[in-house]
Amino acid sequence: MIQSFKMALKSISGNKMRSFLTMLGIIIGVMALVILVSLVNGTTSSVTDTINSLGSNMVGVTVSNDYGNPVRKEDLDEWVKRPNIGYAAPIASGSMTGKYNSTSKTVTVYGTTEQYFTIKKSELSIGRFLKSSDYDNHTNVCVISSETAEKLVGYTSCLNEEITLNGSKFKIVGVLKENKDASALAAIMGGGNLEAYIPYSSHVRLSTDTSNYVTSFYLSAAEGFTTDSVKTVINQIMLERFNYDEDAFNVQSTDTLEDAMGNITAILSILLGGIAGISLVVGGIGIMNIMLVTVTERTREIGIRKAIGASRGAILRQFLIEAVVLCMIGCAIGIFLSWSFLRLVTVIVSSLDLSFGMNGTVVIVAVSFCFFIGVVFGLYPANKAAKMKPIDALHYSE
């Protein structure tokens, strides 16, 4: 066995250029596999981080059938007192025409309370959030996104300016900090709308679709509690409230979004990995091709070996090991080059806060796949060599 291994190395190093060209197919295949899958994984973790920054530990509830027992803001205030639940905010949204002087834009207006900003982990660039007194007094004040400030008002430090939403005047009391990740994601998801936040009670007056019966609200987990526990608690509350009808409401958390994202990237990994796998198979065919040439070239050597007592198995082993060794060297070079490439990419895009580590699983997959390919595509040429009759092989003239 060790002898066959040495012979294989000798034969491979005896024809360096040809061996390298043969290996090239495997090298490229392995690189494609390892790099693509690692890139997908690296991007995934970055996207997952972005989703988390949209507000993790957040549970969204929508009510579609209230069975005559609608949720009110007072109920939310009651539920917040439960240990698991940190904050609760009603949310109502509607598209409205926003006006400032002569500028007119469509603005998505959210009616909510002060707790919303805590749940969403929003940050202010200037001014203040909504206050509970704003809700109580139906104040016509609004907090707007920095994009709204730029596009509707024209400048971001626009505190105390007044904009008109569906004909009613609202005073700007705060401008939110731009969330780069979130706005990028919003742009991908077809959003990118201008946003304004007003007290829920004001939204009720402004929009006919919104009433004091809250049909949609957000909850966050209290310190030390998981989103899942909040989901369980609110699910129980809702079931009790709505005659144990599971279809009357819907509880969703950002975990669901993460799961969906995970599914997408898993599919993407398999898809890209599959394509890379095809190139590995093509590389394997290259190995088979060159092994067939080698076997023909070395017919006389095979004859000599057989004449002095090499069994079929010994010849088969020799050529099979040669094919597998060729594959595995290619695999090792491919993995090393992939590693170097990924390090390089990580350095180049370091400003984007992305990190592309080599995925251990994909390396194991690549190595075992290469081994498999070496055996499968080495078997036919090796068998051809082993089957040769010693006299025919001995008298073979080159």
| Footprint of another protein (CB under 8 A) | 3, 10-11, 14, 300-301, 303-314, 390-391, 394
**Nearer residue to another protein within complex by CB, 159 or 394:** 394
**Nearer residue to another protein within complex by CB, 122 or 299:** 299
**Nearer residue to another protein within complex by CB, 3 or 97:** 3
Whether 89 and 112 have beta carbons less than 8 Å apart is answered as yes
CB of 311 to another protein, least distance (A): 4
CB of 395 to another protein, least distance (A): 9
CB of 389 to another protein, least distance (A): 8
**Nearer residue to another protein within complex by CB, 55 or 303:** 303
CB of 306 to another protein, least distance (A): 7
In 3-state terms the chain splits into helix, strand, coil percentages (rounded to 5) of 60, 20, 25
The token duo for 333 is: 């070079």
> How open is the CA angle 396-288-297, to the nearest 5 degrees?
20
CB of 293 to another protein, least distance (A): 16
Q: Is 241 helix (H, G, I), strand (E, B) or coil?
A: helix
Q: Give the C-alpha distances (Å, rounded to integers) separating 261 from 166, 219, 362.
A: 37, 22, 20
Residues contacting 358, CB < 8 A, separation 6+: 34, 38, 335, 338, 339, 342
CB of 16 to another protein, least distance (A): 14
Rounded to whole angstroms, the Cα distance separating 270 from 193 reads 34
Residues contacting 135, CB < 8 A, separation 6+: 73, 113, 114, 199, 200, 201
**Nearer residue to another protein within complex by CB, 11 or 201:** 11
User: What's at 306, amino acid-wise?
Assistant: K
CB of 340 to another protein, least distance (A): 34
**Nearer residue to another protein within complex by CB, 3 or 368:** 3
Rounded to whole angstroms, the Cα distance separating 31 from 277 reads 10
* Phi/psi of residue 62, nearest 5 degrees: -125, 140
Rounded to whole angstroms, the Cα distance separating 258 from 277 reads 28
**Nearer residue to another protein within complex by CB, 285 or 307:** 307
**Nearer residue to another protein within complex by CB, 2 or 189:** 2
CB of 394 to another protein, least distance (A): 7
